[in-house]
Structure 1
Amino acid sequence: MSQSKTRITALDFARALAIFGMILVNYKLAMQAEHSGPGWLQSIAGLFEGRASALFVVLAGIGVALMTSKARNSMNGELIRQSRNSLYKRAAFLFIAGVLLLLMGWSADILHYYAVFMLVAAVLITVSDNKILGLFSMILVASQLFLVMFDYTKGWNLSFKDYTGFWTIEGFIRNLLFNGFHPIFPWLSFFLIGMWIGRKRWLNKENRSKVLLYSLSGTVVFESLSFFLIKWASPGLGNEAAHYLFGTKPMPPTMLYVLSGICSAMAVIAICLYVVDKFEQSVLTQALISTGQLSLSHYIGHVVIGLGMLNITGYLENGGLVFAMAYGCLYFLMAIIFSHMWRKWMTRGPIELLMRKLC
């Protein structure tokens, strides 16, 4: 298998892991099971919070960079126009899909945010690497300032489950840009750093060990920095305010959370490159690669089918953390089996086929 082929299938493998993490987090969230169950399971479940979806968005940025590389490298006007039109259509498709999930009651949707990422990517196809890094830095700093300047809790109830005024223009824009589950400030940073990494040779075999070492080191550094800043600031600001400004949980999304999330995402991607390189012929590896290739179908499916079944059976309101985790693992296992069988006959997933046909 060629190096570029291994790289792309490793990204699919990583995408499958991101979907798995998102399923666990979302089922725990939907069942309101964060504080139930044994402490060790709460700790394990907490590891996926904001990390799986960050990995998903970084991978999206890398994917778009690879998809538009021919247009960018050739600077051919027609190729650039075609790439932009494709991204505009995908943005429209993802926005409609996301809004439909929101209308079904899935408030934690990521797809309508993705639509904005695709629009930004279309504009940035021909922009230099340094400008993308500059934009990344500006969004990161602005996001941290916004947390100080504006009321992050506006619209949310005390449990951060219901958002008042979401379907008003002001509420929708506030949620989209600032205090939703994956707001543009700072979640666009994950996408931009993915685009930047996708343009580099970082994912090639000779750089793999460096990426793994630097990303693991970065995760430890940013998590340690968060710990010590919270400890230092707590006596003066109070524990809650210190966590608000320097924590590494996804809500509120601080600068340290984004930097730590990028590092942990790159560490997972580097590990996936090693795994696929070594075990590419394994049935499980191939099945997980297929699962990653159907990631959009599985994202929509885990909400419509997975949560739909819980709603019908009455477990949505009555499932604890143990049940949420077990159900998430079972759902993902079924997703792997489905993906492996589906890819024997079809090149793309059901939703991916629909998007390809329309876009």
Structure 2
Amino acid sequence: MSQSKKRITALDFARALAIFGMIIVNYKLAMQAENGGPAWLQSIAGLLEGRSSALFVVLAGIGVSLMTSKARTSMNEELIRQSRNSLYRRAAFLFIAGVLLLLMGWSADILHYYAVFMLVAAVLITVSDNKILGLFSIVLLASQIFLVIFNYGNGWNSSFREYSGFWTIEGFTRNLLFNGFHPVFPWLCFFLIGLWIGRKRWLDKENRSKVLLYSLSGTVVFETLSFFLIQWTSAELNVGVAKYLFGTKPMPPTMLYVLSGICSSVAVIAICLYVVDKFENSPLTQAVINTGQLSLSHYIGHIVIGLGLLQALGYLENGGLSFAMAYGTAYFIVAIVFSNLWIKWKTRGPIELIMRKVC
């Protein structure tokens, strides 16, 4: 297998892991199972919270960067126009899909945010690497400032489960840009850094060890910084305010959360590159890669089918953390089996096929 092919399949491997993490986190959220269960299980679930989605968005940025690389490097006007039109159509498709999930009651949807990311990507095809990093810095700083000057809890009830006025223009816009589950400020940062990484040689074999070392070190540094900033400022600000400003949980999404999330995402991608490189002939590795190739189908499926089944059986709001994680793991295993049966018939997943025809 060529190095470029290994790189692409490693990204699919990472997408499958991201989907698995998102399934666990979303089922825990849907079942309101944040508390309860053994401490070690709570720790595992907590580690996945906000990290799996961040990895998914970074991978999306890398994927779009690779998809538009020919148009960017050639600067051919026709190729650039075609790439932009494709991204516009994808944005429309993902926005409609996301809104349908929202109408079905899934308030934690990520697809309608993706639509905005695709629109941004279309504009940035020919923009320089430095300008992408500049935009990344602006969005990151603006997001932290917004947390200070605006009311992050606006629209949410006390448990952050219900959002009043969501379907009004003001509420939808506020949720989309500022205080939803994956708001453009700052989640666009994950996508932008993915776009930037996709233009680099970071994923090549000769750079892999450095990338892994730096990204793991970065994760430790930002998590440590968060811990000490919370400790040092708690007396002056109180613990709640200190965590609000310097925590690394996804809600609210602070600057330190974004930086730590980027580092942990890049570390996982680097590890996936090693795994695919070493175990490329393993049936299990190939099975996981195939699952990652159907990631959009599995994202929609785990909500419509997975949560739909729980709703029908009456378990949606009655399952504990242990059940949520066991059910999520079982669903992912079924997803792996389905992917490997489907891939023998079609090269793309069912939702991916529909999007391909449209886009």
TM-score when normalising by structure 1: 1.00
Cα distance in 1 for partners of 2:163, 2:281 equals: 47
For residue 339 of structure 1, what is the aligned residue in structure 2?
339
Cα distance in 2 for partners of 1:337, 1:261 equals: 30
RMSD: 0.3
For residue 312 of structure 1, what is the aligned residue in structure 2?
312
Runs of 4+ in 1 over 6 A off after TM superposition: none
What is the number of residues matched between the two proteins?
359
CA deviation after TM superposition for structure 1 residue 40, in Å:
1.4
For residue 349 of structure 1, what is the aligned residue in structure 2?
349
CA deviation after TM superposition for structure 1 residue 38, in Å:
1.3
Give SS of 2:211's match: helix
Cα distance in 2 for partners of 1:38, 1:316 equals: 20
Give runs of aligned pairs for residues 179-218 of structure 1, distance below 5 A: 179-218=179-218
Amino acid at match of 1:219: T
For residue 148 of structure 2, what is the aligned residue in structure 1?
148
CA deviation after TM superposition for structure 1 residue 345, in Å:
1.3
Give SS of 2:84's match: helix
Amino acid at match of 2:22: M
How big is each residue's C-alpha offset from its partner over 1:282-322, in whole Å with a ceiling of 9 and x where there is no partner?
Answer: 11100100100000000000000000000000000110000
For residue 11 of structure 2, what is the aligned residue in structure 1?
11
How big is each residue's C-alpha offset from its partner over 1:122-142, in whole Å with a ceiling of 9 and x where there is no partner?
Answer: 000000000000000000000
User: Which segment is superposed worse, 174-183 or 30-39?
Assistant: 30-39
Cα distance in 2 for partners of 1:59, 1:19 equals: 11
For residue 87 of structure 1, what is the aligned residue in structure 2?
87
CA deviation after TM superposition for structure 1 residue 49, in Å:
0.3
For residue 242 of structure 1, what is the aligned residue in structure 2?
242
For residue 106 of structure 2, what is the aligned residue in structure 1?
106
For residue 300 of structure 1, what is the aligned residue in structure 2?
300
Cα distance in 1 for partners of 2:320, 2:275 equals: 33
For residue 263 of structure 2, what is the aligned residue in structure 1?
263
Cα distance in 1 for partners of 2:326, 2:54 equals: 23
CA deviation after TM superposition for structure 1 residue 16, in Å:
0.2
Cα distance in 2 for partners of 1:45, 1:208 equals: 28
Counterpart check, 1:123 vs 2:118: no
For residue 73 of structure 1, what is the aligned residue in structure 2?
73
Cα distance in 2 for partners of 1:88, 1:341 equals: 32
Give runs of aligned pairs for residues 282-293 of structure 1, distance below 5 A: 282-293=282-293
Structure 2: give runs of 5+ residues left out of the alignment.
none
Amino acid at match of 1:20: F
For residue 32 of structure 2, what is the aligned residue in structure 1?
32
Amino acid at match of 1:290: N
Cα distance in 2 for partners of 1:92, 1:189 equals: 21
Cα distance in 2 for partners of 1:301, 1:56 equals: 16
Cα distance in 2 for partners of 1:9, 1:317 equals: 37
Give SS of 1:345's match: coil
CA deviation after TM superposition for structure 1 residue 39, in Å:
1.4
For residue 168 of structure 1, what is the aligned residue in structure 2?
168
Give SS of 2:344's match: helix
Amino acid at match of 1:191: F
TM-score when normalising by structure 2: 1.00
Cα distance in 1 for partners of 2:256, 2:351 equals: 35
CA deviation after TM superposition for structure 1 residue 37, in Å:
1.1
How big is each residue's C-alpha offset from its partner over 1:221-256, in whole Å with a ceiling of 9 and x where there is no partner?
Answer: 000000000000000000000000000000000000
